Structure 1
Amino acid sequence: MTIEEKQQEIIDDFAIYDDWMDKYEYIIELGKDLPLIEESKKTDDRLIEGCQSRVWVASEFNNGKMHFTADSDAIITKGIIALLIRVLDGETPENIAKTDLHFIPAIGLQEHLSPTRANGLLSMVKRLKIAALEVLK
């Protein structure tokens, strides 16, 4: 599945729900399915700065593809990073670096987050893209 197809799948999934409370519940459920980072990788260098809650992201580069695991101490944030990983995991660093994550405005995510969570979302996107760019150096 391409990045574009994954984003469209998320847009379609969110279109099922009319109410944002239902969408938050869906985000929380996604967080429960997140491929969790190993406890030993929950280090300060993997913490995302700019997030209200604590979010750790680990990345690996194998066979030309990026793979991500993460965890957070906040259930909504855990679901948000799960959405990002759903789109970017298993993709090439080149695709990750150039991808416009248009599903975020399409589902109205950023506008339904508190300002601190919206900043955290941007920080998460930035961290995942930086991980891909570091491989490309």
Structure 2
Amino acid sequence: MNIDEIRDNFALLEDWDDRYRYVIELGRTLEPLPEGEHSPENKVQGCVSQVWLSKQIERNGGHGVVLKYRGDSDAHIVRGLVAILLTLYSGQTPQQILATDALEIFDEFGFREHLTPQRSNGLRSMVERIRNDARTALATA
């Protein structure tokens, strides 16, 4: 699934209860995060729910690197938000990650008005973590 498919599916759902159910369904599509990756270094700080983002850096055939992510959360809706973030960012180059404004896309979907302030802060923390990973990968490439 790509972000355009998610965008199209979201547009079909007018009711926010249906949209939340869809986000929860997206969370269920995440591959399970191995227990060893539920570690302090993978835990995202600034989230009320527990959130883990596991990063893998892969060489991209001599053309730099791509960052691949796996993620998990103990909250169903947050797990769905993680799934959307990974759709946007996992498998992308650091440059692509830094050029993609995930918060703008979440705003486009209407999340700003429909997430609690704590969840919004957690979402920002997740995005900032991935963007920091991208900046670090660029600096060390």
**Pairing 1:8–2:20 present:** no
The one-letter code of the counterpart of 1:107 is F
The one-letter code of the counterpart of 1:52 is V
TM-score by length of 2: 0.88
SS at match of 2:52: strand
**How many residues were matched structurally?**
133
C-alpha separation in 2, matches of 1:35 and 1:91: 18
**Pairing 1:56–2:57 present:** no
SS at match of 2:91: coil
The one-letter code of the counterpart of 1:109 is F
Structure 2, unpaired ranges of 5+: 60-64
C-alpha separation in 1, matches of 2:52 and 2:15: 29
SS at match of 1:46: coil
**Pairing 1:128–2:124 present:** no
CA RMSD of aligned residues (A): 1.5
Contact 2:3 2:84 in 1 (8 A): no
C-alpha separation in 2, matches of 1:77 and 1:132: 22
SS at match of 2:10: helix
Higher relative contact order (CA 8 A, sep 6+): 1
Contact 1:51 1:123 in 2 (8 A): yes
Q: What is the aligned partner in structure 2 of residue 20 from structure 1?
A: 16
5 Å matches for 1:68-87?
A: 68-87=69-88
The one-letter code of the counterpart of 1:43 is S
Contact 1:31 1:75 in 2 (8 A): yes
SS at match of 2:41: helix
C-alpha separation in 1, matches of 2:4 and 2:28: 21
Give how far 1:48 is off.
0.8
The C-alpha deviation readout for 1:54-85, integer Å capped at 9, x for no partner, is 00001111122110001111111100011000
